[in-house]
Amino acid sequence: MLEVIVTALWVMLPAYVPNNAAVLFGGGRPIDGGRMYKGKRLLGDGKTWRGTAGGTLAGILVAVVLNVIVSFLRAGDFLPVFPRSVVVMLPFGAMLGDLLASFFKRRFGRERGVAVPGLDQLDFVVGALLLVVLVAPNWFGDVFTLPVIAVILVVTPILHLSMNIAAYQIGWKNEPY
Ligand code: CTP
Ligand code: MG
């Protein structure tokens, strides 16, 4: 059981960090450039080029560092090693999932920053896993066993919420979710 939890957290770390990094890097030009669709913003001011690029790069850095740690500890039999495609797609998928969620939030008439419980906590998980299964299906099958996925689905919302409440209290984020 402990091994499943450690694997789940280890493998998701490069998908967790981009969200928080995006909050730090965010600002500047929104991706949708202010464009509207049926009277609503396409994505909104909360999705910026800087936040998306900074978040993705931060996640890539995390994956690279985790790989270095595994190789240093010679722990490749116990901990997942990220293939190069996954190093990029895990963080990028996380950012993409978050963008897609904002697209749907705007379509449902939710303004930027309004919470949608469930979607806000799991959008980046779905995006990250989808892209990884596309670029590295065999690796995905080895690492993301059903118990690992179950742990991810339970632990991620708790972690995400705690991180965002912390970021809110420090004053980095405008809303605590
Ligand atoms: N951010 C960004 N670019 C992204 C994701 C996030 O710049 N691709 C920054 C923005 O400053 C954003 C903050 O991180 O306001 C918090 O992210 P999030 O909660 O995902 O955005 P919201 O502002 O809540 O907007 P939305 O309602 O669209 O989720
Ligand atoms: Mg939000």
> pLDDT, tens digit, for every residue of 81-103?
999 999 999 999 999 999 999 99
Alpha carbon nearest to ligand 1 atom 4, residue: 47
- Residue 175's pLDDT is 85
Alpha carbon nearest to ligand 1 atom 2, residue: 51
Whether residue 46 has its Cβ less than 6 Å from ligand 1 = yes
Residue 124 counted as domain residue: yes
Name the helix (H) or strand (E) containing 36. Answer: strand 36-37
Instruction: Quote the domain boundaries for residue 35.
Output: 2-169
Residue 177 counted as domain residue: no
Alpha carbon nearest to ligand 1 atom 14, residue: 23
Cβ atoms 57, 17 nearer than 8 A: no
**Short-list 33, 42, 168, CA closest to 100:** 42
Ligand 1 center–CA 34 separation, angstroms: 15
Residue 174 counted as domain residue: no
Residue 143 counted as domain residue: yes
**Residue for token pair 């809303």:** 175
Residue 77 counted as domain residue: yes
Ligand 1 center–CA 152 separation, angstroms: 22
Q: What is the mean pLDDT of residues 47-57?
A: 98
Q: How many domains does the chain have?
A: 1
Looking at 101-105, 133-137, 172-176, which range is the least confident one?
A: 172-176
Residue 175 counted as domain residue: no
Q: How far apart are CA 24 and CA 172, in angstroms?
A: 7
Residues ≥6 apart with Cβ < 8 Å to 83? 136, 139
